[in-house]
Amino acid sequence: MKSTKTLFFLAFLSLFIPSSFVLAIEEFNPNFIISDSELQNYSSMNRADIQAFLSVNGQFLSTYKSPDKDGVVRTASDIIYRSAQDNEINPKYLLIKLQKEQSLITTTNPTQKQLDWATGYGICDNCSMNDPALQKYKGFGTQVDSAAGIMRWYYDNQGSQSWIKQASVSYNIDGQTVVPASSATAFLYTYTPHILGNQNFWTLWNKWFEQRYPDGTLLQDAETNVVYLLQNGLKRSISSMTVLISRFDPKFIITAPATELSRYNDGQPLSLPNYSVVKNGINYYLLDYDYKRPFANYETVKQLGYHPDEIINVTEIDLEGYKIGETITSSQENPLGRLIKIKEIDKYYFYKNGVYKPLTDPQMVKTNFSEFSPEIVNLADLGELVLGDAILFKDGTLFGIIGSNKIFVVEKGQKRHIVDEDVFNGLGFNWKNIIWTDEFTGMAHKTGEAIYLRGEVEKTVPTTQVVAQEPITKATPPPTNIEDLMEKTPISETTFIGETFETPIEAYVVEEYDSEKILAGKNINVVRPLASFTKVMTAYRLLQEGLPLSSIGTVTYNAGKHKSVAHYFRVAEGEKFRTNDIMKTMLVSSLNTPSRMLVDKVEIYEPAFIARMNQQATEWELPNTKFTDTYGYDLGNRSTALEYTKIFKKVVANSSLQEIMGLSSYEYDELIDKDGKPHHYDYNTNELLLENDLPYKIISSKTGFLYESGANLAMLIERKSDGKKFVIITMGNPDYQNRFVEPDALSKWVISNF
């Protein structure tokens, strides 16, 4: 089943491309439609990326739910993601099949027939969809999985059946000789034996997945050194450094090859500095970024203190591209607005047109308002505050959320996920320009489509080579609505023991650590998915079986043996690590591949190791606990909150593991580096460990998350006032975006009441 994947599949999602944006795409070559690495790059999109694509580019499928191949009702994005993962086929291929066969991406009101035969699987030119023999292929979930599954089957059986088309073999298709240059191209003709149908596939691929930099990007031509602003799909040349620094920070300029810039049509040049006062005929304007704000009259210009020598005479052509803004009157003392800091609450606001807009992150003072000097004011002097929406980062800003693992770029107020390190570097972004912000600020930016690169694009030239940190390479896909996917206990079957703590979390246990007394609990005996809680048992068994955590223990990465499902670990073939460092990566960062790397050190046959994990559960008298992998991705890893309390306590009794699971962060260097990026560091996936004002100390913890499990969190905490310790297990938190709020509230309730 396994086949070589490439991390360098480079694509970019863009369905609705402005008419002014013309792609420089080569002509269709029927002999080469797609490469094998592209077709098999099943990690190219995570669930959130697929959901964002459906939300931006379509209507119906973004909210559509259907039974999957096993009859479990799931969202369309989840069905697509799971089918891609199970069959190791690029989810982008499935998105194109849905559009090519039944126009399901863009259709707002599809018929049931379109949904039932979503990918055209099992249907031939002369087949009837009412044929009883074809009904087993009917249904959205079955169609999607079958479309991915048949491609995987072709790869696994390409030499066994004569009707499966082969690469480098000549075929007559629609009266034309075609010699497929890749197996992927041959399989597309096997699936759809027509040139026109596959040309439509190729056209959609280029339309949707062609690279395009986001609006707000500053690109400098590597040959001419001219700097352009990308805006609305056009490149706008910037006439001088004076104009540039009046609107932008030069450190964000990306050097790009001329071939890349040629892909954009020219827009109106930027030739006037921001905040210039200009005159066109009898009209006076203040240039406020993309707006020309008219002065009520020339008297207003004088009253506001603008000197005649500052006024620039312009033509209509100079003002093309500027939209008409609000009129400036003499009653406006600060037509540009004011940046203020309220002394009593130590918060920044931008005041304009009678409205105060909060800056939720003080870093916005520099990124958004570098031309303003903050005014420190007293709250009492401001009168009644009319609050507006929070300020968002400017377009083109790079940011990450503290304690999370994704890097975003802002475009039109939305945050767009840069899917991995190769894309980040390939686009020429600079690691030094990443702003780390809080979760509230990050979530204020709506989620847009993820950003990819074309595989064949000439890479840009990064201005500085900086070693990447760990978070850019791993992913925790925040879903849009976990409650629809998460396993839930009916309200009528919900049970409590001890004092009741009201919470939407499905199950919790509170145990006094020393006495082992259960103080409170909810649904403590309900069996639930463990997700990455599984890694705790893996770690315990590894030490029991002699894995060395000293400096002498090492492990070398072998992709064929170690690469896991949901592989987000930044690692290259042949790189060597200390086992102690990989243990941190597994338990602190909660990455999957490190689990397999460590297990391979003590057991070459992984199922045998999993069997010993289950034997350990039996010895500990945990009848409802079962393990089916070593890292928690499989839904077969299950336990109850009560039984997991016992597992967690057994494991944290080991001082080495307790210490590792109590780290708020870590960093280390590889022993053998193969990709020029030897340094790794990351923060604990339990963001509460980053807080410094909690009334309790977190001694050890472990997180876990799957859509079906919800967010899980296990903690050993200590009350600061008297040193009393408690074990707190929470399973099935439906609020992923705020997944630490309820466990924190429960912990505070515990230390206040017991």
Q: Which residues are catalytic?
A: 532, 535, 590
Listed in sequence order, the residues at least 6 apart from 111 whose beta carbon sits closer than 8 Å to its beta carbon are none
Transcribe 369-409 into DSSP letters.
-TT-PPEEE-GGGS-S--B-PPP-PPTT-EEEETTS--EEE
Residue reference for tokens 């999607």: 144
Listed in sequence order, the residues at least 6 apart from 252 whose beta carbon sits closer than 8 Å to its beta carbon are 218, 396, 430, 433
Classify the C-alpha dihedral 614-619-625-630 as positive or negative: negative
646 contacts 516 by C-beta, under 8 angstroms: no
398 contacts 407 by C-beta, under 8 angstroms: yes
Residue reference for tokens 């899980």: 712
3-state helix, strand, coil in the chain (%, to 5): 30, 20, 50
- Residues annotated within the binding site for substrate are 702
The letter for the amino acid at 457 is V
For 134, phi then psi, to 5°, come to -100, -5
Beta strands 665-669 and 679-683 are antiparallel
> How many beta carbons lie within 10 A of that of residue 604, not counting itself?
10
Transcribe 61-82 into DSSP letters.
TTT-EEE-TTS-EEEHHHHHHH
Beta strands 435-437 and 398-401 are parallel
Cα 98 to Cα 119: distance, rounded to the nearest angstrom:
5
For 682, what's the count of Cα atoms within 13 Å in the CB-facing half-sphere?
28
Strand-pair partners of 171: 178
Cα 559 to Cα 561: distance, rounded to the nearest angstrom:
5
CA 669 to each of CA 284, 463, 662, 677: distance values in angstroms, whole numbers, following the listed order: 60, 24, 20, 9
* 3-state helix/strand/coil string of 632-697: CCCCCCEECHHHHHHHHHHHHCCHHHHHHCCCCEEEEECCECCCCCCEEEEECCCHHHHCCCCCEE
CA dihedral 49, 52, 56, 60 (to 10 degrees): 110
- Residues annotated within the binding site are 702
Contacts 24+ apart (CB under 8 A), 605-612: 606/630, 609/541, 609/545, 612/541, 612/545
Dmax (CA) of the chain: 90
